[in-house]
Structures are given as structure tokens and as C-alpha cells.
Amino acid sequence: MSLFQHRPLRPYQVNRGPTFQQSLLMLLRAPYELLLGWRYTRAGRASRRNGFISFISAASMLGIALGVAALIIVLSVMNGFQKEVTGRMLSVISHIELFSPDGSALPDPQRTLSEVRANPEVIGAAPFVGAQSLLARGEAMKGALIRGVSPEMEPQVTDIAAQLKDTALKKLVPGEFGILLGSDLARSLGVTEGDQVTLIAPSGQVTPAGVVPRLKQMTVVGTFNSGHYEYDSALAMLHIEDAERIFRLEGPTGIRLKLRDLNEARQVTDQLAGTVSGNLLLLDWTRQNRTWFSAVQLEKRMMFIILTLIVAVAAFNLVSTLVMTVQDKRADIAILRTLGASPRSIMGIFVVQGAMVGVIGTLGGLALGLLIAFNIDVIVPALESLFRASFLPKDIYLISSMPSDPRQSDILPIAVISLILSFVATLYPSWRASRVNPAEALRYE
């Protein structure tokens, strides 16, 4: 053997065997960039020398997790709020309403009923009289939405009528002028079942002494609670024949429809507009509450954008973490370069390190967000009891309990956006690491 030839020396090492992570990565035959990136991520948390870098890395991971969790929780609550209010709203209103433009009686209600029932999507139809009036009890006076209904046909179109079909609704007998009040409306007037209220019709009666409002004594035959404050505080139902007499109408002012699929309301409305005869207006449930639904959708988009910015801030904290890590690992980078590592491989090492933080933070945020979202019906009452406060006053938010509806269509984009932001944040520091000059890095080592 030549004097100048020698075998590379191998320092004595205690063979303790690979760790679980090393074994797993070897089984997957992962490239060395992944191995080193994972090692730097773990070492950054454990080394005293890199304690500050470790703190920044942990803060970035925690920020990503909290941002993702907040996004999931807020969007789930907003979805649940919209679903709950929509369900309660549709228990009182119908899917589609047909009525005369001037609020007068329909010219031929029987023909209109036959025409709408011919549509295969319509599973229920009922005539009604709609008007506004005042209800008075002593000195208390409240504005009310009066709805004249048919006790036999109304259960076909609304859930609240179906619930009251065998109880309060059958007490509406024509000629007896009974009235059903929303629970909050009855409470504000201070009346219970059997009490008398005065209905004041908006159109007065002309007499020699002038215009005198038409009054009618009504007997409260029951109350109902839909769970929707807007209707429970303003809606009153009476028999359709009594409503026609009080408001001096020759028939119903409109027809309410129930569909097989409520999400097809707009399409069915367009179909009926071409088949129903007469100059009638058609209004589906989405257009009846267009302002409310538009506001909810706008709030949901804005909350998504705002909370995504929180995730972005946390993700771009990775930039400072990786910049400091690259500065600390300049000697290691130089040694790897002298051993033949390409700039692309150096860049891959630090992309893996930053991506690991993003992946762990995203997974942690998903777990925390889903845990809270699925148990919010337990968490919120506990917080309300602890702080002795009501987070959702029903006269403001329409419902008094915190609903939650986690949806895959929201959760998947949140996870993808978080991972993309974390990956993008690693590109510049990783590129700078690949540009380190080995000679410059090892000059003072």
C-alpha cells in the first residue's frame, strides 16, 4: 500500500440503534434532505444554544395552530347559526308565496291552487290572508302581522302549523274569532289563553263623524313558539274566514307552497312564473329574507379573510425562524456543500424544516378546532354559567343557543391555505441558505 494511500478513519461509536423516527424514515426510504430537515426541526427545539430560535419556531407553530382552530370554530358557528335560523324561519314561513301585487284577494284561488299543484316539486299548498294590524290589551299595544289560515290546509306548508294541528290550531273555528299569538307577543301584551285582545284593522270605517278605525274583540285560544324571535314577537294567526270578514276581503290574498326540496325554490319559482295565470307575484324564501342571508354570507367571507390573515402572520414568522437557523447552520451548510450537496438539496433541507412546523401547526389547529366545534354546545353554556352572562340574547341574535355545523367544504380549504402559506414562507430563507459560500462560511470556524 502506498504511503499516501490510507483508509478513512471511523471514530468509535456506541451502537444504540436508530430511533423510532429514523427507523420510520429509513423504511420509507426518505431522501437525506428530509432526514436532515426533520433532525434540524427536532434539534432546534432541544438545543440550549438555539433556545431563542426554538422559541420563535414554537411561537410560529402555536400561531398557525390557533389561527387554523379559530377559522374552523368561527366558520362552524356561522354555518350552524345560518342553518338553525333558516330551519326555525322555515317552520313559520313557506318555501314560496303567491299573492296579488296590490294586496287584494286572488281573482280565482281554486284555479291558482290547481296550477301550482300540477308542478311535481310542490308537495303542499294552502291559501292565506296576510295583513298588518294593531293588537291592544288595556294600555299595551303592539303591531302584529296577521295571518289568516285554513286549519285543515296550513299544516301542509309549515312545520309550526303541523305541530299545532291537533292542539291550538283546531280551536280556530270560523265565526268565533279566536286568535293564536306568538309566545313573545302574548307575553308583551300580558295575555294568556282565554283572554281578550282588541284587533285594530288598518283601514277605517267612514262615518258622519269621520273615519273610525274598525275594532274587533278576539279571544286568545293559544300561543306558539317557533324559536325565532322575529316571528314569535309579531305573528298572530286566525281562521281565514274570520280574517276575510275583518279585512273585508272576498277571498284569500295569496297561496303558500311547500316544496320537495327547499334548495330548488328559485328554480321552481321561475317555472311557476310561466305556468300560473293572472298577474301574481311569486316570492321564494331566499328572496323574502334576502338582506339577512346576504349579510350572513358577507360576514362569513370577511371573517374568513380576517382569520386567514392571522394564519398568514403566524406562517410568515417562519421566515425569521429560518433566517436565524440558516445563520446558525452556516458551517453545517458549508460542510454539506464540500461533501457534494447541491444548492437544491440545501434548499430542500430548510424547506422541509419550515414545512414541518407548518404541518404540525396545521394538524394541531385542525384537532383543536374540531374538538371545540363539535363540543361547543357544552363549552358555551359552561362559560355562560361561569361568567353569569348570556352571549346570545335572543332578541338580538334571533336564537339563544350557540350552534355549530363543521363542514368539510370549509375545513379542507383552511388546511390547504395554511399549508401553502407555510410552504411559501420557507422559500426565501431556503434560497438564501442554498447561496451560502462554503469558503466564506468556514473562514472563521
Q: Which DSSP string do the residues of 144-166 spell out, in sequence order?
A: EEEEEE-TTTGGGT-HHHHHTTT
Is 397 domain-assigned?
A: yes
Is 95 domain-assigned?
A: no
Please say whether the beta carbons of 346 and 74 come within 8 A: no
Chain centroid to CA 49: how far? 46
Claim to verify: residue 275 and residue 298 sit in the same structural domain: no
Claim to verify: residue 149 and residue 254 sit in the same structural domain: yes
Distance CA 166, CA 57 (A): 65
Q: Quick check: 107 pLDDT over 60? A: yes
pLDDT at 218: 92
* E strand intervals along 36-121: 96-99
pLDDT tens digits for range 294-315: 887 888 888 888 888 888 888 7
Distance CA 108, CA 110 (A): 6
pLDDT at 69: 92
Residue 292, H or E segment = helix 290-328
Is 120 domain-assigned?
A: yes
Q: What is the CA angle 409-259-251, rounded to 5? A: 145
Claim to verify: residue 257 and residue 307 sit in the same structural domain: no
Distance CA 277, CA 272 (A): 9
Phi, psi dihedral angles at 16 (to 5 degrees):
-95, 0
Which of 215, 248, 279 is at the close of a domain? Answer: 279
* E strand intervals along 80-157: 96-99, 122-137, 140-149
Claim to verify: residue 304 and residue 243 sit in the same structural domain: no
Please say whether the beta carbons of 130 and 255 come within 8 A: no
Claim to verify: residue 301 and residue 426 sit in the same structural domain: yes
**If we measure between CA atoms, which residue out of 423, 330, 443, 399 comes closest to residue 78?**
399
In the predicted model, what is the mean pLDDT of residues 10-19?
Answer: 45
Q: Determine if residue 23 is left, alpha or beta; phi over 0 gives left, psi from -120 to 50 gives alpha, anything else beta.
A: alpha
Distance CA 68, CA 228 (A): 32
Claim to verify: residue 313 and residue 382 sit in the same structural domain: yes
Is 257 domain-assigned?
A: yes
pLDDT class for 367, splitting at 50, 70, 90?
A: very high
- Number of domains the chain contains: 2
**If we measure between CA atoms, which residue out of 420, 371, 396, 422 comes closest to residue 76?**
371
Q: Which residues of 374-400 are buried (b: 16+ CB within 10 A; e: fewer)?
A: eebeeebeeeeeeeeeeeeebeeebbe
Claim to verify: residue 373 and residue 403 sit in the same structural domain: yes
Better pLDDT: 290 or 23: 290
- Segment among 89-98, 302-311, 380-389, 435-444 with least mean pLDDT: 435-444
Chain centroid to CA 236: how far? 31
Claim to verify: residue 274 and residue 303 sit in the same structural domain: no
Q: Which domain holds residue 349?
A: 23-85+293-442
Please say whether the beta carbons of 104 and 249 come within 8 A: yes
pLDDT at 4: 39
pLDDT at 6: 44
pLDDT class for 185, splitting at 50, 70, 90?
A: very high
What are the helix and strand counts (H, E) for the chain?
17, 11
Please say whether the beta carbons of 192 and 290 come within 8 A: no
Claim to verify: residue 319 and residue 196 sit in the same structural domain: no
Which of 242, 257, 279 is at the close of a domain? Answer: 279
pLDDT tens digits for range 207-238: 665 566 788 899 999 999 887 788 888 999 99
Claim to verify: residue 114 and residue 237 sit in the same structural domain: yes
Claim to verify: residue 180 and residue 220 sit in the same structural domain: yes
pLDDT at 186: 92
